[in-house]
Structure 1
């Protein structure tokens, strides 16, 4: 970030130019130190048929930190990690923290050239790469001549050595947690890159300590070492944040045995380990709820099923509540705010529509955070007026690494601009209308795909849908809806669906065309990016058909 974080600049200006006082904070790796003391022989991590106690985890992290230090890694250096979920990936996070280095995880589903870009963009000094990705290792090495070394995760042949060999070579080593200050970076959280290149959001030790505390207060209160959490998403992003929170309380983390999401296996693990919480996205939760396995295993131990990353459609909410009970927790929060904008707790997830049900809300402000709905000039709007959702508070990141242009666009008068559109009611509940980039204008009227999608999903034959705007010579833009039929439902035609919706929405909001696909394209995080849907429409040659009426 040009050597200075946003928060450092603010601190300096706030003290009239006086020298900034040191703000020493806890190193996040101290969570392991605490667990090794208090819960030494309690299981902290399970993967397949293997398990590790907190003492073993803490020791392994120290040995890995010692090995990295022996190869020259020091405080502030970036460690790029490209791996499927596994034990050594989890260790690498805490090893980086312990040294005061920066953990830079990637989504393992990225292509080699994308990971190579992340290596150069982050200025990585070391690369820990899963052995299943030799092309990625080669691409990173070619793109980053200054890269110090590459070690492999799991069995294989790439790199200098394996992480397990590095750990074994430093058996018995003990590395103390490096001293860190509030603004010292600990994690480069790469955005999913919905537009253009991914950007590295700088997360710091002080910020993340607040995030952990906030998650425990607002998302899963009462979590202790007696709890257990199942991981169903890549640890590189939101699931990694969630597991850091579990570690803060000494709760056990259970990984799926492979990167393939198996609903039956997920429910088996929930029953076996008496899993009490999990973090996921609406599309994955929908798969779990609609799978027969949900009726074959005991999931009564679940207390918090937390979903984020995208709003959950009302019909899917009701189905999940019917099957799982009052355990749903929704939060809204970008990587840049580390999941800390709003929360909708279990008590406000109503199974039936009624006067007490706020349909479409993502909840109210998180503890210690403030939300403002603003117009293009930064003026706060009145209740129910649609604008950009902006946020301030200790969970907001320090800015994008080495990207002053992106920082200038992301912040206005101290507020972080999420790029999401929405409104707030008189009681402070926030409603997301959609991404600013998703909104389209048809005949001079703003159309927000989210509300159209909600209406379409009330049809019993539709399981998933994506609505987006496409160019039109008459109206400027018109909407198209790409629908996925619900499994086992009777098929519905384009004209039948349009007729069904005719009484549910104004004519100007009605999509011009309805397409029916077997599946919608999804990102590596289980989301449905509109850009991927648009690309698929173009690849199928459907964009030039959108203005033609169907017979």
Structure 2
């Protein structure tokens, strides 16, 4: 049998999503930040002008463009302009240090830099340490380069040559958070991202229309940026917080004023929104989809969110390498009643995605058995940029290995046990911290917790539980130990409880065990 290669692998340039939205509703509100409004036609014209400017500055197809900025309207404009001109979008989390952004710029081989005027030290460090950089634009007036706004105005009315792209052409370098080493650039492609947008609309936010409105409460550099790309595909207006400061009262005010229907967040931020005093009086009637990801949500936090918001929670599980696209737990599958709920699940496989739990040899394990969560499908990235060692370690027989441990029930619902790096062995038995953390959080005085395996001369490793009491609550280590007695097997019980005012979190608002371990060693003098 002769295999016939595809006649064409060309796909739509992702920037076309903006063009389509602007054609359908040119006068509709597209972007909002503070008192500023951009209509779809204005958004489209600005992206066109900036793309023409970038091409005039020498941007070639495949050139990477590093972006260092907090959320702003110009950041959204630049994303579509870079794609339209044929470039690759390489956003950094704006909370990273100049040295960290220099590393990302070098690792990506970026030829251009778009940097907000609020970060002159980052721009200077990149210009000094990255000889491959050919040009720099500033968002706002700055000494380190011409302003993006001025360049856009100079080219207003000009149409760029929209880059023709193939399915496997890179469009986004999505840097991993670097919690297990230096960040790696996951290569996302135009064809892959077109599938992801379609899948988000099918599985996470079905039925979006221009009558909807989306509120951005997380950095556009990562998951929130993917979420907003989906909003653009349906002509949904996007509302940004008026400043980089996260203020819960402002969030609830914007939800009321703009009749916000969709939000993307992480469990720690959702917990803040739900437990803040202003939440009790919040007008949440417009909310349709409150999507959380980035980490599993503890059951007690989930129940409080459902009690306040109603049946609007949507959970997805994924990694940057799969653009969040592994499993979904839709709103109808969220149950407040413990007897009716599948407690601890992150849902079932997304449309078009296959998920397996595999053993160390790559064999699928039986339902209920713990193994590594592996995935195949059109959402899986093209590999890590310039990192063959990481690629070899991350793929096996075509399956992407997530590094997460879990098990699947007979109906195909997945349950995450934790990262492979989180599991520890005590007295020869595997211990998964998440199970212990869920039990500790049922204590009414505890707000947050993290359990880590720490070296022990007798047992090899034992659990230490770092606990954060609720405001005004008092609890002792002895009380917590007594509370858990009988709720867990003896070998799973933490040998030490530590009480802190707060847990350290990453730039994305996630609780990371690496940061907690470092802080634990510094504060407590752990082994």
Aligned to 2:462: 478
Q: Which of 36, 57, 63 is matched with 2:22 structurally?
A: 36
- Per-residue deviation, 1:486: 1.1
Aligned to 2:200: 215
Q: Which of 478, 482, 486 is matched with 1:503 structurally?
A: 486
- Per-residue deviation, 1:174: 1.5
Aligned to 2:98: 112
Aligned to 1:448: 432
Q: Distance in 1 between matches of 2:41 and 2:113?
A: 26
Matches within 5 A, 1:508-547: 508-544=491-527
SS, match of residue 352 in structure 1? coil
TM, length-normalised to structure 1:
0.94
Provide structure 2 residue ranges, at least 5 long, that are not aligned to the other structure: none
Matches within 5 A, 1:227-266: 227-266=212-251
Q: Is the 8 A contact 2:203 2:351 kept in 1?
A: yes
Q: Distance in 1 between matches of 2:156 and 2:235?
A: 24
Q: Is the 8 A contact 1:151 1:158 kept in 2?
A: no
- RMSD, matched Cα: 1.2
Q: Does residue 1:337 correspond to 2:322, yes or no?
A: yes
Q: Is the 8 A contact 2:450 2:466 kept in 1?
A: yes
Q: Does residue 1:401 correspond to 2:385, yes or no?
A: yes
In the alignment of these two chains, the number of paired residues is 527
Matches within 5 A, 1:25-64: 25-64=11-50
Q: Which of 151, 155, 170 is matched with 1:166 structurally?
A: 151
Q: Does residue 1:368 correspond to 2:352, yes or no?
A: yes
- Per-residue deviation, 1:299: 1.3
- Per-residue deviation, 1:62: 0.6
Aligned to 2:255: 270
Aligned to 1:6: none
Q: Is the 8 A contact 1:137 1:158 kept in 2?
A: no
Cα 1:353/1:19, change in 2 over 3 Å: closer
Map Cα deviations across residues 140-160 of structure 1 (whole Å, 9 max, x no partner).
Answer: 1122112101111123x2322
Map Cα deviations across residues 316-374 of structure 1 (whole Å, 9 max, x no partner).
Answer: 000000000000000001000001100001111111210x3110000000000000000
Aligned to 1:10: none
- Per-residue deviation, 1:260: 1.2
Provide structure 1 residue ranges, at least 5 long, that are not aligned to the other structure: 1-13, 545-551
SS, match of residue 371 in structure 1? strand
Matches within 5 A, 1:89-108: 89-108=75-94
- Per-residue deviation, 1:488: 3.0
Aligned to 2:169: 184
Matches within 5 A, 1:354-365: 354=339, 356-365=340-349
Map Cα deviations across residues 355-396 of structure 1 (whole Å, 9 max, x no partner).
Answer: x31100000000000000001110110000000000000000
TM, length-normalised to structure 2:
0.98
Cα 1:15/1:119, change in 2 over 3 Å: farther
Q: Is the 8 A contact 2:55 2:160 kept in 1?
A: no
Q: Is the 8 A contact 1:149 1:159 kept in 2?
A: no
Q: Distance in 1 between matches of 2:5 and 2:343?
A: 50
Q: Distance in 2 between matches of 1:15 and 1:419?
A: 38
- Per-residue deviation, 1:297: 2.7
Q: Does residue 1:381 correspond to 2:350, yes or no?
A: no
Aligned to 2:73: 87
- Per-residue deviation, 1:177: 2.6
- Per-residue deviation, 1:168: 1.0
Q: Distance in 2 between matches of 1:339 and 1:225?
A: 24
Aligned to 2:128: 142
Q: Distance in 2 between matches of 1:46 and 1:15?
A: 54
Q: Distance in 1 between matches of 2:373 and 2:461?
A: 24
Q: Is the 8 A contact 1:362 1:431 kept in 2?
A: yes
SS, match of residue 163 in structure 2? coil
Cα 1:115/1:15, change in 2 over 3 Å: farther
